[in-house]
Structure 1
Amino acid sequence: MVTSALDRPWLIVVAVVVLLAVAVVGYVTRTGPRTPASVRWVANASYLTQLASFRSRLARYRVGLAAVAVVALTGGVAAGVLLARPVDRQVLNSELATRDIVLCLDVSGSMVEYDAEIIDQFLTLVEGFDGERIALSIWNQTSRTVFPLTDDYGLIAEELGIARTALDFDMDAYYNGSYDQDDLDRILDFITGTELATETSSSLIGDGLASCGLLFDEADADRSRTIILASDNQVLGTPIYTLPAGADAVAARQIGIIGIYAGASTDTSAAEQKEFEDVVATHNGLYFEASDPSAVDAIIERIQSQQAIDLEATPEVVVTDRPVVPATVLVLAFGVLVVVLWRLRT
């Protein structure tokens, strides 16, 4: 909760007292009524005070003096508020959630046309979290950590936005040669580190899953851990870990698995999808197809229902200065005062 306050409110009282003191001194030391001896008499000038132009200028002069007083008072109060230091105070939650989530994304060629959609789901998921640490790992033949576990949600959203832009690539345009070179460079830069020199393997899901399991730190801490694995399970080549073996490896470390399947329909896709679903189910995980509209809400519910230990921590008070309003009023008052005084001289 954010509250607004003055850090040194007593300075407002000081500012008001000074303004009153100046007003009193000005009143006491003002020039009194003139005596006949101090007046320079001009013959036949008594009618001047009856002229409409004279009365108009006198009225403007009095209004100007009143305006000077009001503007000076406003500027003085604004200066007092500025000296009193207006701030916002926010007491950060003293309980730290201990849920860790690794987003584990297949960026092989067969997945590229689905990855942008999955990143959108990741972004929606992040909006539903509060305090969880999140990491992103991408993989094909090998894995690359895009960002490690962090609760900096600004950074998470920024990095996922970059990932979405890079992976929003038209594979059909690539195959027919009509692609944009900048788009190709962007996606190649992003997936750097996920491919080997050989083209004899691709989408090594077991190895990718096992690598994602290594991103969880604080192994001895009592934390809940979840991998959200997105892939089409179209494995090419011989991995170190098969999908069942990779799932066993992360399950041995008490890491939960949530599977998101996306992929084109092929001669082998039905068997690949079934294996993916069976492995996730065998390890007490949740399985969804990427097109399932209920996936995001169900994933958030599953993760938030998992055990979360609250660590006692010293409350942290964040104080943010908010000088804009009084400073603006002070500057405007000074500007108006200069203009009014200049007008009074003419």
Structure 2
Amino acid sequence: MALMQQWPFALVAAIVALMVVVAAFLWPLDRRRRIQHSAVPLDHLDRLRKLPRYQQLVRSRLRRRLIQVVCVLVATACLVILVGRPAKPDEDWQQRRNHDVVLCLDVSGSMSDVDHDVIEAYRKLADSLDGNRIGLVAFNSAAVTIFPLTDDANYIDSQLTQFSRDLDRGPIPGSRAGTSGSSLIGDGLASCLQRFDGSDDRRGRTVVLATDNQLSGTPVFSLNEAIRQAVKRKVLIQAVAPSEADNTAVSVLHDAVAHTGGDVTLVTRTNLEDPDRIITAVRDQEARATAATARWTQVDVVWPFGVLALVCLVAATAMEADPRRRKEDS
């Protein structure tokens, strides 16, 4: 039981306290019975009982006993409720870590001058999307996974830093295959779409595609065919293009990604011209995916009943130990 796991001694202590109060409540009754057995008989007690002071003491004792009984009953009821583990519904839709983002980078020759800038922009973007799963795929004529989807922020940052160094050493191993050409954007995007695991279709999914859209070769998938796959799988495509890229190529890229609800953001010297555009689009899609799978969760409600039980037990015990009460009983 979650209550016993969180407060392993709370119920035990409360039950012991209740037993102490009940014992303190019953002990005077037993003491009074013993006194009655050894008491000296008195006559004309009816006159004594008519005295105002006597009647005042009787009423005071009855009030005290009534309050003690109520306190003990309330404390007992609270303990019974605590054993039943009270809970309230909580509209927690678990919005964090509900999105997958694949960074899809064109590492062809035409992008070599800006790839470092794009990687730095990716790092800033990853910081802004902390808590989401992020992966990186590089492609030229073939695609290679640099690191898979993960929500480890330190690992993501270190891998992006290492990948930036690897770019200085030459072509990325695994990013070129055969003689089909280079910068095969459609094939690269289609490969990036395959990096999403299919275990949970309810998660929001985004591909951040960095390319100048300068095709040089014969791809298996055209850009439009890859876009249709993204639309079918409900994947948002946000494009990142160098600010120096050909305007016509950027326009074609914009029209293509618009079918998924995405847009094109230009990168200039490690800075995205409008980074909030990608972040907002990712979060909006995440909110839609979350709302579609919203569920109610329960949160334990312990402290009100625990505090009330404790107050009642302390009050009942204090009244029993009140020196004025002992004087009255004597």
AA at the equivalent of 2:170 = I
* CA displacement at 1:274 relative to structure 2: 1.6
CA displacement, residues 238-296 of structure 1 (integer Å, 9 cap, x when unaligned): 1111111111111110000101112755xxx3332221111112332121111274422
Superposed CA offset, 1:18-66 (max 9, x none): xxxxxxxxxxxxxxxxxxxxxxxxxxxxxxxxxxxxxxxxxxxxxxxxx
Is this contact kept in 2: 1:94–1:314, CA < 8 A?
no
* SS of aligned partner of 2:277: helix
**Relative to structure 1, is the Cα distance of residues 97 and 118 closer, same or farther in structure 2, using a 3 angstrom cutoff?**
same
Matches within 5 A, 1:6-85: none
Q: Residues 119, 206 of structure 1: CA spacing in aligned structure 2 closer, same or farther, 3 A cutoff?
A: same
Q: Which residues of structure 2 form unaligned runs of 5+?
A: 1-91, 300-330
- Matches of 2:128 and 2:280 in 1, distance apart? 9
Q: Count matched residues.
A: 200
Tell me the distance in 1 between the aligned counterparts of 2:184 and 2:296. 41
Which whole-Å CA distance do the structure 2 matches of 1:273 and 1:300 have between them? 20
Aligned to 2:111: 111
Q: 1:208: how far off?
A: 0.4
Task: After TM superposition, give the deviation of residue 135 of structure 1 in Å.
Answer: 0.5
1:333 alignment partner in structure 2:
none
- Residues in 2 aligned to 1:313 and 1:162: alpha-carbon distance in whole angstroms: 41
Name 2:197's counterpart in structure 1. Answer: 217
Partner secondary structure for residue 216 of structure 2: coil
Which residue of the partner structure matches residue 249 of structure 2? Answer: 272
Contact residue 231 and residue 259 of structure 2 kept, 8 A: no
Partner residue of 1:295? 274
How far has the Cα of 1:193 moved from its partner?
A: 0.2
How has the CA–CA distance of structure 1 residues 313 and 232 changed in structure 2, closer, same or farther, with 3 Å as cutoff?
farther
The answer to whether 1:196 aligns with 2:177 is yes
Partners of 1:249 and 1:224 in 2: CA distance? 15
Residue 306 of structure 1 aligns to a residue in which SS?
helix
Q: Which residue of 2 aligns with 1:337?
A: none
| Secondary structure, counterpart of 1:307 in structure 2 | helix
Deviates more, 1:278-287 or 1:132-141: 278-287
Q: Is the 8 A contact 1:226 1:303 kept in 2?
A: yes
Distance in 1, Cα, partners of 2:131 & 2:165: 26
Q: CA deviation at 1:209?
A: 0.4
CA positional deviation for 1:300? 1.3
| Contact map agreement 2:227 2:259 (CA 8 A) in 1 | no
TM-score scaled by structure 1? 0.53
1:258 and 2:243 are equivalent in the alignment = no
Letter in 2 for 1:305: D
User: For structure 1, which runs of at least 5 residues remain unmatched after alignment?
Assistant: 1-92, 170-185, 316-346
Identity, in percent, stands at 35
Question: Residues of 2 paired with 1:312 and 1:103: CA distance?
Answer: 33
1:285 aligns with 2:265: no
**Paired residues for 1:78-227 under 5 Å:** 95=94, 96-167=96-167, 169=168, 186-188=169-171, 191-198=172-179, 200-227=180-207
Number of the residue aligned with 1:27: none
CA RMSD in angstroms comes to 2.5
Residue-by-residue CA offset, 1:99-142 (whole Å, 9 max, x unaligned)? 00000000001101101001111100111123200000000001
Q: Report the CA distance shift for 1:236/1:159 in structure 2 as closer, same or farther (over 3 A).
A: same
1:94 shift after superposition: 11
Q: Using a 3 Å threshold, how does the CA distance of structure 1 residues 311 and 208 change in structure 2: closer, same or farther?
A: farther
Return the match for 2:208 from 228, 233, 236: 228
Change (3 A) 1:203 1:129: same
**Closer, same or farther: CA 220–151 of 1 in aligned 2, 3 Å:** closer
Q: SS at the partner of 2:196?
A: coil
Alpha-carbon contact 1:97-1:311 (below 8 Å) kept: no
Aligned-residue offset at 1:197: 3.6
Q: Is the 8 A contact 1:110 1:263 kept in 2?
A: no
For residue 305 of structure 1, what is the aligned residue in structure 2? 284
Secondary structure of residue in 1 paired with 2:264: strand
Give CA-to-partner distance per residue, 1:42-94, whole Å, 9 cap, x none: xxxxxxxxxxxxxxxxxxxxxxxxxxxxxxxxxxxxxxxxxxxxxxxxxxx99
Give the drift of 1:220: 4.3
